[in-house]
């Protein structure tokens, strides 16, 4: 399930702007290239999932408003990048979004849901004592530090 839709993008930036951003071949037509939009949405979702998967089970079953808004902004940036229309302020905003995603993967922020999404199956909340029968253990390396 995508975190945002073409209708969300149209509501955010308008139909005319979306048709301009999705027209990578510069045919100057007034239609939205749905293939380009779908591809940009998929790229944004993949980016979100790549960071969130370190901590949460992805894709989120019910994305929060915060995740949907992030997906919209990432999709718009992706479309701008494809048209070489990224401005310096867009780059700064994108850097802030990536910083937020990094904090999400590290547990510094939450995706904004209540209750919190299910944790990834590989995330371990605590460190466990390693058995001394293993080749490397705390007991066997005592005195080497």
Give the mean pLDDT per block of 10 residues along the chain (145 residues).
91 92 80 92 95 88 91 96 94 96 90 65 60 66 70
Those residues with Cβ within 8 angstroms of residue 127's Cβ, 6 or more apart along the chain or in another chain: none
DSSP state, 23? -
| Closest listed residue to residue 75, CA positions, set 33, 29, 16, 18 | 18
Our count of domains for the chain comes to: 1
Query: What is the model's pLDDT at position 125?
Result: 57
Domain range enclosing 131: 1-145
Strand partners, 119: 56
| Contact yes or no for 96/89 (Cβ under 8 A) | no
Question: What does each C-alpha distance from 17 to 3, 26, 45 come to in angstroms?
Answer: 20, 13, 21
Query: What is the model's pLDDT at position 57?
Result: 85
User: Where do we find the tokens 């969300």?
Assistant: 8
Quote the pTM value.
0.77
Query: What is the model's pLDDT at position 116?
Result: 60
């Amino acid at each position: 399930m995508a975190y945002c839709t073409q209708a969300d993008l149209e509501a955010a930036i308008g139909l005319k702007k979306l048709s301009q951003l999705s027209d990578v071949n510069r045919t100057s037509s007034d239609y939205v290239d749905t293939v380009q939009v779908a591809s940009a949405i998929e790229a944004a979702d993949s980016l979100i999932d790549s960071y969130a998967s370190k901590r949460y089970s992805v894709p989120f079953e019910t994305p929060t408003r915060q995740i949907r808004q992030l997906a919209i902004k990432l999709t718009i940036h992706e479309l701008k990048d494809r048209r070489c229309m990224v401005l310096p302020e867009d780059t700064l905003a994108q850097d802030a979004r990536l910083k937020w995603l990094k904090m999400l993967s590290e547990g510094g922020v939450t995706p904004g849901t209540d209750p919190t999404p299910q944790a990834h199956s590989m995330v371990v909340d605590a460190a466990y004592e390693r058995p001394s029968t293993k080749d490397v253990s705390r007991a066997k390396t005592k005195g080497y530090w």
